[in-house]
Amino acid sequence: MPRPKHYDIVIIGGGVQGLSLAYNLALRETGKIAVFDKSYIGSGASGRNGEMIRSAFGSEEWIRLFDTSLRLWETLSAELDFNVMFTRCGYLVLASTPEDLAACRTNCKRQNAMGLKTRMLNAGEVAELIPSLNPQATVGGVFQKEGGVARHDAVVWAYARAARRLGVEIFPYTEIVAVNVDTAKITGVRTIRENVLTGIVVNAAGAFAGQVAEMAGVKLLLDVYRLEMIVTEPLKPFLQVALSSPHFLAYMHQTARGEFAGGAEPQNLSPYLGLKNTRHAVQDMARKFGSLFPGLRGAKLMRQWAGIVAKSPDRGPLLGAVDGLEGFFLNAGWGGYGFMGSPAGGRLMAELITDGQVPDALYPFNPDRFATGQAIVEPTIIGAAEDKG
């Protein structure tokens, strides 16, 4: 029999989080690193997301983590020697009701206290920023000039190429079917073809993180949801910024080619693993986007697609070591925010794995927080954590 392969670190999942981590670990010269994905790299939510980036959240925990990421986005193209098309077009969190506006004021104060240069906009200022927006749908909002968008496929390719350049071995279409454990310690993984020896496994498997964890005897508090998006035909420029609407459970931007790209969550979103598009979702998106932008009514759709994500009970990621299982780490449960958090997720998890110390921005997202009553309340995410149908 051929001798089993050996790696110092195995990462399960070839999306932006797994690839970012592999790159950052390789920068720290942590030995032989392998990334395994059961499909092509970026095949999951990394290649199916809304591409929008901000750090203007409402909780200290989310602000700290995602502002770390935003600062890295600013220089990511130069660092990776690949144009990830990060565009600092600005990001508006829209308020559509007086209650929304009061929440925006509270969030903006916290953001400013933590060093973010966000500012409140009244209804008139929102109208100046986005003249095409339905005035009946806005009473103001929080604007982050430093926010923006990036090209998701370019980010996947950039991290993959940079990681390979540093010696990381990436195995697409290579499914992990078992995680080997001996006396509460990781000893390796198994693909459909061979055993692979390793003392460290990082579960960055996105929507399939729960299944991977079960291979190691670990139960994660994750539900899997299908999210859907649409892209219209190219239109004259009418939306210069990235925009999210907690009231409509929607997010959107306009591409450089003029396509309107957006997604929305129906009320009472139910866990579901399938990737099939639904009429219900596109009708829900059409209604919401038409309410926000009356000029969109009648626009032709070019594409509609679905992606699946794993969400924790508080919608925050699970980042850190698994207590009681030496060598098993989680980089999972990002929901719809793994793309914008990928620079910080990879950088901070690499620090944790190599130094053995939990970075301050990472600590609140430790996998044990639900057992210890330390769930994070983040008020600005799209969708409510308790909406499970």
- Tens digit of each residue's pLDDT (9 = 90 or more) over 113-135: 999 999 999 999 999 999 999 99
Residue 271 reports pLDDT greater than 70:
no
> Contact at 8 Å (CB) between 238 and 132?
yes
Task: Pinpoint the alpha helices (H) of 98-223.
Answer: 98-113, 123-129, 152-165, 209-215
The stretch 294-311 carries a mean pLDDT of: 92
> Contact at 8 Å (CB) between 61 and 378?
yes
Of 167-171, 339-343, 353-357, 384-388, the range with the lowest mean pLDDT is 384-388
* Domains, the chain: 90-147+223-311 (3.30.9.10)
Model confidence at 277, pLDDT cuts 50, 70, 90, reads confident
Model confidence at 3, pLDDT cuts 50, 70, 90, reads low
The whole-angstrom distance between residue 83's C-alpha and the CA centroid of its chain comes to: 19
The stretch 270-295 carries a mean pLDDT of: 86
pLDDT, position 327:
98
pLDDT, position 270:
66
Where residue 134 falls (left for φ over 0; alpha for ψ -120 to 50; beta otherwise) is: beta
Where residue 40 falls (left for φ over 0; alpha for ψ -120 to 50; beta otherwise) is: beta
Q: What angle do CA 360, 65, 90 make, to 5 degrees?
A: 150
Model confidence at 388, pLDDT cuts 50, 70, 90, reads very low
Element (H, E) at 80: helix 76-80
How many Cβ atoms are within 10 Å of 89's Cβ, its own excluded? 17
Q: How far apart (Å, rounded) are the C-alpha atoms in residues 231 and 286? A: 11
Under DSSP, the state recorded for 369 is T
Residue 50 reports pLDDT greater than 80:
yes
Model confidence at 381, pLDDT cuts 50, 70, 90, reads confident
What is the percentage of the chain residues whose pLDDT exceeds 70?
95
Q: What is the pTM (predicted TM-score) of this model? A: 0.94
What is the percentage of the chain residues whose pLDDT exceeds 90?
87
The stretch 279-294 carries a mean pLDDT of: 92
Under DSSP, the state recorded for 196 is E
Model confidence at 385, pLDDT cuts 50, 70, 90, reads very low
Q: How many CA atoms lie within 13 A of 73 on its CB side?
A: 30
Average pLDDT across the chain, whole number: 94
pLDDT, position 386:
40
- What string of DSSP letters covers 214-238? HHTT-----EEEEEEEEEEEE----
Q: How far apart (Å, rounded) are the C-alpha atoms in residues 118 and 145? A: 7
Exposure of 85 by Cβ count < 10 A (0-12 exposed, 13-18 middle, 19+ buried)?
middle
Query: Cβ contacts of residue 229 below 8 Å, gap of 6+?
Result: 48, 50, 261, 262, 263, 285, 304, 305, 306, 307
> Contact at 8 Å (CB) between 8 and 199?
yes
